[in-house]
Amino acid sequence: GDSVTQMEGPVTLSEEAFLTINCTYTATGYPSLFWYVQYPGEGLQLLLKATKADDKGSNKGFEATYRKETTSFHLEKGSVQVSDSAVYFCALDSNYQLIWGAGTKLIIKP
């Protein structure tokens, strides 16, 4: 079945560091891919998405490119801030539901 694998956390970085959170997937067909973010005490909210191969999703300085050849959708940001501390979830749509990665906790230190 469809699945999503993302790097384990926590990932701890200093402010202004470069961020990469890896996400790879297994799916039949060409699903849409998503990154959601969950701040402490809140629900999940969409960060960005890409609906077809080679699309780049971007939002709030974060980017991810849908790579069909490597079945990946890695999340990147050039300069992280303390306010980016959260849990990040990679997901793909499989018919009527999202298949979720386990989440990666990101901690940014000032």
Partner 1 sequence: DAGVIQSPRHEVTEMGQEVTLRCKPISGHNSLFWYRQTMMRGLELLIYFNNNVPIDDSGMPEDRFSAKMPNASFSTLKIQPSEPRDSAVYFCASSRMGRGLSGNTIYFGEGSWLTVV
Amino acid code (one letter) for 62: F
Q: Is 42 in the site for partner 1 (CB under 8 A)?
A: yes
| Distance from the first to the final alpha carbon of the chain | 41
Phi, psi of 94 (to 5 degrees): -125, 90
Q: Is 46 in the site for partner 1 (CB under 8 A)?
A: yes
Report 50-109 residues binding partner 1 (CB under 8 A). 51, 89, 93, 95-98, 100, 102-103
Phi, psi of 15 (to 5 degrees): -55, 140
By the criterion CB under 8 A, which residues form the site for partner 1? 32, 34, 42-46, 49, 51, 89, 93, 95-98, 100, 102-103
